[in-house]
Structure 1
Amino acid sequence: MTLEDQRDSRSPTLADGTKGTFSLPTIRSDIAAMVRSKRGRAAMLGFLGAVLTTVGGFGAGSTLVTDRLLEDAHLSWMRFGHGLVLSSMTAWVGVACMIVAWIQLGRIALVHNVALNELRIIVGMWILPLIFAVPMFSRDTYSYLAQGALLRDGFDPYRVGAAANPGVFFDNVSAVWINTPSPYGPGFLLIAEGITKVVGNNLVAGTILMRLAMLPGLALMVWAVPYLARHFHGKPVVALWLAVLNPLVLIHLIGGVHNETLMVGLMVAGIALALKRKHIAGIALISIGFTIKAMAALALPFIVWIWVIHERERREAAGEGPEPYPMIAFAKCASLGAIVFASVYGAASVTAGVGIGWVSALQGSNQIKNWLSLPTVLAHAVTWFTPLGLDPVLSVTRPICWVVLIAVLVGTWWRFRRSEQDAVAGIAIALIAVVILSPAALPWYYSWPLAVGACFVISPRLLMFLAGICTFVMLVFLPDGPPASGPLHVALALLGAVVAAISLRFEDPLRLRAQKARRPR
């Protein structure tokens, strides 16, 4: 063991990640130790990657149709011709650096040589450059701002799309969403409206402010994910590494400016509060998450089980014996939860001045046709072997998968009801089922199940598989949003995923260092 390795493993109490705190003296000492270590070098590599991703994004990302800021800085050349090629290469090198650094930190985390506070610091380091980036891998933030402007200017975002309010926001919305009403909850519309009131029609300022508005969600994830892991005897450091430090999560949620950041943060924080027996507060947080994006509601039925379990434990501890009428106990917890949910949602709707039209607008995702969702994969497979077109086949595969999804959700809710761990595992399974079986899926959707599932004890083999999946999904979409269409790009993404997965367990799986050592001097 080298002197550096000894330094890396000196502090087993902090290294297991179970006693990390946010105290300034502790964080200061963690920074000093980290800078001199392997994990410090990995952190700096990831930071460099974030910087390069940000710089490359000014040309290769989801840029504005007319970007006066780049023009005034004489950087508009980055968007065209050879400049675009250079920008794309810079962005991809940055993404690769972040993935390599993430895998290195994962390898270190698996042997307990990194503290929880250190990973928290690294999360902050890596997102700092991304706050100032052009939206990466998606144009959704322009849709968010356009929907906020609709509410600001007196339109109902649940009835009309961005086309009803022409202007700079409309000009930059992806063509798929121009006429689509908002599929987001009233809470998020209030945030978007507030931002557009502050920035007017300034898209650059609006993008940065939207990112800042999402950061509380990331902070909740940084707190709640390790708490859940600790509660279920998992590894807090590994959980934070997988669910938060993951480049797929940071680049898409922060770089791409997605409201999943708030939704997921509120959901996992609500689960954590429910496990702390603060059931009403937990349901309230998850309900707020629902007013951001509907998927948070999947956790609520399982929180009812957690509440019922706690009531049963309370009776046993008080010597009152088992509940004579279990259905009454369930009805009590469910009805109180429903009251909290209705109160939160009603308050958000009244404040925003909108109704429930966004529920029907959720069908707008049907316009997305990529192979990340099982219905689309099945439809493509049918078209390969038959003369049928994609749309007619999708009209069959999507309803079939909807029926299967509903059956899975109901069955999972009933099956996973006997313990806290059952209930939270049920939430993770439900989220995975939605990602796979819903009509459309996008890379940032994977942040939903990762945030919940990372809290359990995960075998090294499964971690390798998850690292490979996350790497593949990260690499197979282009910086300006669409998925790669060429087989070469897909093959390279698959190769990168395999190397990343193997590298999590074995340093230098391609034996590049060994080959370098054999070269004659």
Structure 2
Amino acid sequence: MLIMVGSWGVGWLPHVPESVLARSRLLLAVRVDLVGVVVCTVFLALGSMLLVRSWLRLGQQLDGRWTTHGVAARRAALRWAVPLLAALPIFSRDVFSYVQQGRMVAVGLDPYTTGVSAVPGWFMHGADSLWAESPSPYGPLFLWAAEGIWLVSDGRPEVSTLLFRGIAVVGMALCLWAVPRLARAAGRDPDRAVWLSITNPLFLLYMIGAAHNDALMMGLMLAGFVLLVRPGRRRPQALAGLVLICLSVAIKPLTILMLPFAALLLPAGWAPWTTGRGMPVRARFGPWITTAVLAVAVLAVLGQLSGLGFGWIAAMLTSGDAAFPYAPFGLIGLGVGALVDLATALDARTVAGWCYTAGTVCALAYTAYSGLRRHVSDPVWTSAAVLFVAVVVAPIIQPWYLVWLLPLVAACLPGRLEHPRWFGPVLAGSVLLLTGVGVVDQIAVFQWIPHVPVRLLAAAIVLACLAYIVWWDPHTSRVFRSSARPAPQEVL
């Protein structure tokens, strides 16, 4: 509830004539006044950190009782998500870029060759200027849906936000259906897997609160894996699983890297890996060919229906024009580009682009190596590893990218790295840190409100809560102690 109320004062809201909330006297009274902004900033920061603490305490209280009380993790995910449905977009304003890209498709522009700056009023409608010149990184199915949402909403941001949030809710529902089934098939506790990945505050805040399309991408991908590994499944079910993963590619094309490993599950699911046999290299080419033909067919149909064809391939390879300095390859590209620009006649952006291309080549090379090596690990685990490498070598790393990996790690076959000591503290610390980053970095206020002091206030609250949770809270602090082996109830 604190997060929901806080979002009304410092969440993202385009101030355009079509917006009902932008003309609301009650809402404007909160958003234009410094006192209202400060109160809402406190609510958002405090509520977000309390959500992280509640998640940690839920995991501690359920440890050792997952079989009898584990359903509480699923109920918590649903109950915590409900207030976020009434919140203004928080932690990201990507949803407004979705709207403008759908608008581009509706007026006949190609979002794979130009950015949202091609349509008038894009900035007033809330799209981030960082991506204004970048081609769309999304697949044809999502852009087709975005076109429909633009036409239905008629440019009203409240309607379009609710519809995109509805897509995120569908993705969450698919995840809640798929994760426990995938974990159960792997011999893991299904409710613990749900707690680690879907009840996780990062999922709730960035997927539901920010209305990201990643939720649907994940839901389709995970549901596809469930159909592939389900015991006793028949080949049509397995092929349907591959179709679902192809649909996830049509939402966000990065998941195309998972198709070679999902294909390995086509003949017999997880059976070759549970028995330790694996799959010989020669035996992999049949499933790969079948999967390639199916993927081309599905994506060709969607490209034809949406009118966007296969333009997403070129866009995916060139969408790294923007870079974040805290992404390793983003930092390398910016640094090398600046140095070469000083020493030669080459343009810094061109050199940085070469570095980003090198990162793409590294991701593709690792994918090929993982698929062709003699002993392939569990395909679900390998999919997570390939996705992790692709994220690390990308010029842009967003806080919610961790959410992509958690369901795959939580529901893959048990392996040699089962329950490492560092996993609990690292995961809890990452969730705390990335939640805090979202609070501080994504506060939306009017130009006359002093932005820096408001951010500093949010940062102070986040740091105070972080210090309390890590060092002073008698319960949650046990998660972060590494001096001694933690007791079972203190392990995440």
Q: Specify the TM-score bucket, using the shorter chain as the normaliser.
A: 0.7 to 0.9
Q: Is the 8 A contact 2:330 2:395 kept in 1?
A: yes
**Which of 17, 20, 29 lines up with 1:77 in the alignment?**
29
Q: Distance in 2 between matches of 1:115 and 1:447?
A: 24
Equivalent position of 1:433 in the other structure:
389
* 1:413 is aligned to 2:371: yes
For residues 23-53 of structure 1, the C-alpha deviation after alignment (integer angstroms, 9 at most, x for no partner) is: xxxxxxxxxxxxxxxxxxxxxxxxxxxx211
Using the TM superposition, give the Cα deviation of residue 261 of structure 1 relative to its aligned residue in structure 2, in angstroms. 0.5
1:147-186, aligned counterparts within 5 Å? Answer: 147-167=101-121, 171-186=125-140
- Quote the RMSD (CA, aligned, Å): 3.7
The secondary structure found in structure 2 opposite 1:270 is helix
Q: Is the 8 A contact 1:366 1:439 kept in 2?
A: yes
* 1:210 is aligned to 2:149: no
The secondary structure found in structure 1 opposite 2:245 is helix
496 and 391 in structure 1: CA distance in 2 versus 1, 3 angstrom threshold: farther
Q: Distance in 2 between matches of 1:499 and 1:271?
A: 39
Q: Is the 8 A contact 2:469 2:476 kept in 1?
A: no
Using the TM superposition, give the Cα deviation of residue 172 of structure 1 relative to its aligned residue in structure 2, in angstroms. 1.8
1:49-88, aligned counterparts within 5 Å? Answer: 51-66=1-16, 68-80=20-32, 81-88=34-41
Equivalent position of 1:5 in the other structure:
none
Q: Distance in 1 between matches of 2:441 and 2:462?
A: 17
Equivalent position of 1:519 in the other structure:
none
Q: Distance in 1 between matches of 2:11 and 2:23?
A: 16
**Which of 423, 434, 442 lines up with 1:473 in the alignment?**
434
Equivalent position of 2:239 in the other structure:
280
The secondary structure found in structure 2 opposite 1:250 is helix
1:71-110, aligned counterparts within 5 Å? Answer: 71-80=23-32, 81-110=34-63
For residues 6-39 of structure 1, the C-alpha deviation after alignment (integer angstroms, 9 at most, x for no partner) is: xxxxxxxxxxxxxxxxxxxxxxxxxxxxxxxxxx
Equivalent position of 1:453 in the other structure:
409
Using the TM superposition, give the Cα deviation of residue 459 of structure 1 relative to its aligned residue in structure 2, in angstroms. 4.0
Equivalent position of 2:266 in the other structure:
307
For residues 181-239 of structure 1, the C-alpha deviation after alignment (integer angstroms, 9 at most, x for no partner) is: 32211100121112122221111011011111222211111121122222222222221
Question: Structure 1: which amino acid aligns with 2:433?
Answer: F
**Which of 69, 72, 77 lines up with 1:115 in the alignment?**
69
Using the TM superposition, give the Cα deviation of residue 381 of structure 1 relative to its aligned residue in structure 2, in angstroms. 8.0
Using the TM superposition, give the Cα deviation of residue 377 of structure 1 relative to its aligned residue in structure 2, in angstroms. 4.3
Using the TM superposition, give the Cα deviation of residue 64 of structure 1 relative to its aligned residue in structure 2, in angstroms. 1.5
For residues 425-476 of structure 1, the C-alpha deviation after alignment (integer angstroms, 9 at most, x for no partner) is: 1011111112211111111211111121112453454122112112211112
Q: What is the identity percentage for the equivalent residue pairs of Structure 1 and Structure 2?
A: 29
1:91-490, aligned counterparts within 5 Å? Answer: 91-112=44-65, 115-167=69-121, 171-276=125-230, 277=233, 278-308=237-267, 310=269, 327=282, 329-362=283-316, 365-378=319-332, 394=352, 397-415=355-373, 418=376, 422-456=378-412, 457-459=418-420, 461-478=422-439, 481=442
For residues 130-165 of structure 1, the C-alpha deviation after alignment (integer angstroms, 9 at most, x for no partner) is: 112111111111111111122222333223332333
Question: Structure 2: which amino acid aligns with 1:60?
Answer: V
Count of residues in correspondence between the two structures: 451
Q: Is the 8 A contact 2:9 2:41 kept in 1?
A: yes
Question: Structure 1: which amino acid aligns with 2:135?
Answer: P
TM-score, normalization by structure 1: 0.76
Structure 1 window deviating more from structure 2 (468-477 vs 365-374): it is 365-374
Q: Distance in 2 between matches of 1:152 and 1:434?
A: 32
Q: Is the 8 A contact 1:199 1:205 kept in 2?
A: yes
Structure 1 window deviating more from structure 2 (397-406 vs 57-66): it is 397-406
Q: Distance in 2 between matches of 1:181 and 1:245?
A: 32
Q: Distance in 1 between matches of 2:333 and 2:441?
A: 26
Q: Is the 8 A contact 2:114 2:133 kept in 1?
A: yes
Q: Distance in 2 between matches of 1:496 and 1:186?
A: 42
Using the TM superposition, give the Cα deviation of residue 503 of structure 1 relative to its aligned residue in structure 2, in angstroms. 8.9
For residues 44-80 of structure 1, the C-alpha deviation after alignment (integer angstroms, 9 at most, x for no partner) is: xxxxxxx211211122122213454143242213334
Using the TM superposition, give the Cα deviation of residue 110 of structure 1 relative to its aligned residue in structure 2, in angstroms. 2.3
284 and 478 in structure 1: CA distance in 2 versus 1, 3 angstrom threshold: same
193 and 133 in structure 1: CA distance in 2 versus 1, 3 angstrom threshold: same
Q: Distance in 1 between matches of 2:329 and 2:270?
A: 41
Structure 1 window deviating more from structure 2 (203-212 vs 486-495): it is 486-495
The secondary structure found in structure 1 opposite 2:159 is helix
Question: Structure 2: which amino acid aligns with 1:305?
Answer: L
Q: Distance in 1 between matches of 2:318 and 2:469?
A: 35
Q: Is the 8 A contact 1:222 1:240 kept in 2?
A: yes
The secondary structure found in structure 2 opposite 1:159 is coil
391 and 206 in structure 1: CA distance in 2 versus 1, 3 angstrom threshold: same
Q: Is the 8 A contact 1:228 1:455 kept in 2?
A: yes
Q: Distance in 1 between matches of 2:460 and 2:28?
A: 32
The secondary structure found in structure 2 opposite 1:366 is coil
75 and 364 in structure 1: CA distance in 2 versus 1, 3 angstrom threshold: farther
496 and 358 in structure 1: CA distance in 2 versus 1, 3 angstrom threshold: farther
Q: Is the 8 A contact 1:228 1:272 kept in 2?
A: yes
326 and 139 in structure 1: CA distance in 2 versus 1, 3 angstrom threshold: closer
202 and 259 in structure 1: CA distance in 2 versus 1, 3 angstrom threshold: same
Gaps of 5+ in 2: 413-417, 445-450, 480-492
Q: Distance in 2 between matches of 1:159 and 1:250?
A: 32
For residues 479-503 of structure 1, the C-alpha deviation after alignment (integer angstroms, 9 at most, x for no partner) is: 6638999999879867766765679
Q: Is the 8 A contact 1:405 1:434 kept in 2?
A: yes
Q: Distance in 2 between matches of 1:119 and 1:102?
A: 9
Equivalent position of 1:3 in the other structure:
none
Q: Distance in 2 between matches of 1:408 and 1:188?
A: 28
Structure 1 window deviating more from structure 2 (156-165 vs 495-504): it is 495-504
Gaps of 5+ in 1: 1-50, 317-321, 511-521
The secondary structure found in structure 2 opposite 1:477 is helix
The secondary structure found in structure 2 opposite 1:427 is helix
385 and 101 in structure 1: CA distance in 2 versus 1, 3 angstrom threshold: farther
Structure 1 window deviating more from structure 2 (57-66 vs 294-303): it is 57-66
The secondary structure found in structure 2 opposite 1:346 is helix
Q: Distance in 2 between matches of 1:498 and 1:432?
A: 29
505 and 89 in structure 1: CA distance in 2 versus 1, 3 angstrom threshold: closer
Q: Is the 8 A contact 1:104 1:504 kept in 2?
A: no
Structure 1 window deviating more from structure 2 (123-132 vs 302-311): it is 302-311
The secondary structure found in structure 1 opposite 2:250 is helix
TM-score, normalization by structure 2: 0.80
Q: Distance in 2 between matches of 1:500 and 1:416?
A: 45
Which structure exhibits the higher relative contact order, with contacts defined as CA atoms closer than 8 Å and separated by 6 or more residues?
2
